[in-house]
Structure 1
């Protein structure tokens, strides 16, 4: 009995040690919001890791920092009024092995980085602010200068950091935090499973300067993802399903399926699309978006069909959607940065078992289903839709599309080739 009591005490002590809070201002991090605190905050993370783990607490105040790297058994808590503000100097973000636009490559670290940190969590109610204004202005200036020369600019030519990059982590929680003004993508999940993003407010602006490519949540080769009770308004796709691109993408181990994703009770503000498949996606399966409100002029469901990538989108359900939007559905070729890389392959896309049901919205148009000529669509169902739209018909080139009880402007939906 005595040994059992001692064992319980030691276990309790161990748990308490693991659960220790590390408030950064108690470890030499100052409150001067103009002073770069990267090294000081990183040293707190490292100390917590060395002591067996703990929660890094950001108290009220604004703390300027470059890239931070969380370690196993460390977590992040931002208290009310706390702001982790990203440096707008790209030199404060190391150039390291990473993942961008469906390919493994070296790129600049995000503001918050967690690699193989199972159980990692970020909790609010504070704010992570990417301070992206300088990056956005530089991006548009570069793109405009090339446009005058008749050239295109890729998204990677102007160096800018993501806000969050979660790589190879399981059992992740991001709850109650405000994510703002990302330099590039806001939340990038890669090779991570069992992730909950809940009660988060994710925003980047369209004006006065557009915040380019600031996707709200990018899900890249991941499984078991839940996004719940979030508000998202960004200058790109709100929620984007990724996983790889290129004619041999499906053969490469760094690429893979995104499956079992649930998006519910969210509000999607101004964005480029509420839910997007692609443009870097080889296989998306079992994706559900339900009980959500849209308040924007963009598509509810968008499928980007790459002519240089084998794609399979299957078992996707969008149901119980209200509000106002652009299109109900948008399926079109995606030709941006098309690259077969010298391959003789002839990739095509397959779309099957898609349901859009119980949708009541005011839309700009019903939409288009007009992918690449080789793409195949089957088992696509629109059921119980009540829509008002300025352009009330569906442009559709596929045979296996069923329409049941779909009313647009008080009349049955008209389908045109």
Structure 2
């Protein structure tokens, strides 16, 4: 009995510690948008961890900061009118072990970082603002400069921070928050399981300066991720499935499958692709996107087929989709930064069990499905679809595609 009482008492202490709130303005952090306060905010996070955990509260106001690192049992809450604004100097984001573009490398920390923090939460209704304009402007300047010398610039050559990077964390929640103006990718999840991203507003601009490579949500070697009731419009892919690239990527332990992903009740504005698999993905399966509205001129499903990477894309369902889009499906070879690394492997892709059902959309064309020569495609279904298209065509050489009750421009569709 004494042991049970002791256990209950210990659990009560832990619960109180985890429920404790640390309002940063009570710990010497001032509401001054011109003053860098990274160290002061980090001190509050560290204090919360030392006391057994708690919620770091950002009150109304604008707070300028570099990289912040959340610790065990700590969480983040941004109150109404709160804006956590990222520094636009890369020196305020340390170079640390990280993960970028399908490789485990040293890279610059994100604005918000959580490494192996189970049950990590970010809650709104406030804003995390990447303040990315200077990064975007320099990216385009640098890219144009090297182009004059006959070379293409990679994304990693222009040093920019992501907005959020969460690594190796389970039971993660990001809810009711605005995620804006990332310098690089907006939300990057790596090796995470059981994640909910709900009722978030995720944006980066197309003008007056394009915000390059500001993917909305990157899901990288993760399982059981739900994206629900979000608005996403970014100058790259809205939701992107990653997991590794290169001829030996499928053999490397840091890479892996992405599976059991649900995207529902979302609205998608302009982007480069609504749901994109690639450009660094080795195995993606059991993915559902349903009950979503399109408000853009890009593809609903985009498959990037890397000729230097073994890929499997399988068991994908797109259903109950309305609105305006560019294409229903876009599948094409993806050779950006192609690199066999001296390998004699002959990578190929398998694409199978993909269905589109109950779509009512206006589009430019049905789309295209053309991979690399060794790729195989099977069991692709289009059913119960009504579309108005500028061009009633699906460009493909693959035969394993079936159409059932597909009406394009008021005429039964036959490819």
Same fold, TM exceeding 0.5?
yes
Q: 1:195 maps to what in 2?
A: 195
Equivalent runs, 1:258-269 vs 2, <5 Å: 258-269=258-269
Task: Kindly provide the CA deviation profile for residues 342-385 of structure 1, in whole angstroms up to 9, marking residues without a partner as x.
Answer: 00111011100000111100001110011111110000101111
Distance 1:119 1:136 in 2: 33
Q: Using the TM superposition, name which of 1-10 and 213-222 deviates more.
A: 1-10
Q: SS in structure 1 opposite 2:41?
A: helix
Unaligned ranges ≥5, structure 2: none
Q: SS in structure 2 opposite 1:194?
A: strand
Equivalent runs, 1:177-192 vs 2, <5 Å: 177-192=177-192
State the TM-score, normalized to the length of structure 2: 0.98
Q: 1:236–1:13: structure 2 CA closer, same or farther, 3 Å change rule?
A: same
Q: 1:11–1:247: structure 2 CA closer, same or farther, 3 Å change rule?
A: closer
Is 1:392–1:414's contact at 8 Å kept on the other side of the alignment?
no
Q: 1:400–1:30: structure 2 CA closer, same or farther, 3 Å change rule?
A: same
Q: SS in structure 2 opposite 1:399?
A: coil
Distance 1:330 1:319 in 2: 16
Q: SS in structure 1 opposite 2:160?
A: coil
Q: SS in structure 2 opposite 1:159?
A: coil
Q: 1:213 maps to what in 2?
A: 213
Distance 1:3 1:401 in 2: 64
Q: 2:343 maps to what in 1?
A: 343
Q: 1:295 maps to what in 2?
A: 295
Is 2:233–2:268's contact at 8 Å kept on the other side of the alignment?
yes
Q: 1:105 maps to what in 2?
A: 105
Kindly state the Cα deviation for residue 399 of structure 1 after the two structures are TM-superposed: 1.2
Query: Once superposed, which parts of structure 1, at least 4 consecutive aligned residues long, lie more than 4 Å away?
Result: 1-10
Is 1:394–1:413's contact at 8 Å kept on the other side of the alignment?
no
State the TM-score, normalized to the length of structure 1: 0.98
Q: SS in structure 2 opposite 1:156?
A: helix
Task: Kindly provide the CA deviation profile for residues 290-341 of structure 1, in whole angstroms up to 9, marking residues without a partner as x.
Answer: 0000000000000000000000000000000000000000000001100000
Distance 1:156 1:257 in 2: 24
How many residue pairs get aligned? The number is: 415
Q: 1:69–1:401: structure 2 CA closer, same or farther, 3 Å change rule?
A: same
Over the aligned positions, Cα root-mean-square deviation in angstroms equals 1.2
Is 2:403–2:414's contact at 8 Å kept on the other side of the alignment?
no
Kindly state the Cα deviation for residue 145 of structure 1 after the two structures are TM-superposed: 0.9
Q: 1:69 maps to what in 2?
A: 69
Is 2:357–2:384's contact at 8 Å kept on the other side of the alignment?
yes
Matched, 1:411 2:404: no
Distance 1:402 1:159 in 2: 45
Distance 1:247 1:10 in 2: 51
Distance 1:18 1:235 in 2: 37
Distance 1:225 1:271 in 2: 21
Is 1:394–1:414's contact at 8 Å kept on the other side of the alignment?
no
Kindly state the Cα deviation for residue 414 of structure 1 after the two structures are TM-superposed: 3.9
Q: SS in structure 1 opposite 2:76?
A: strand
Unaligned ranges ≥5, structure 1: none
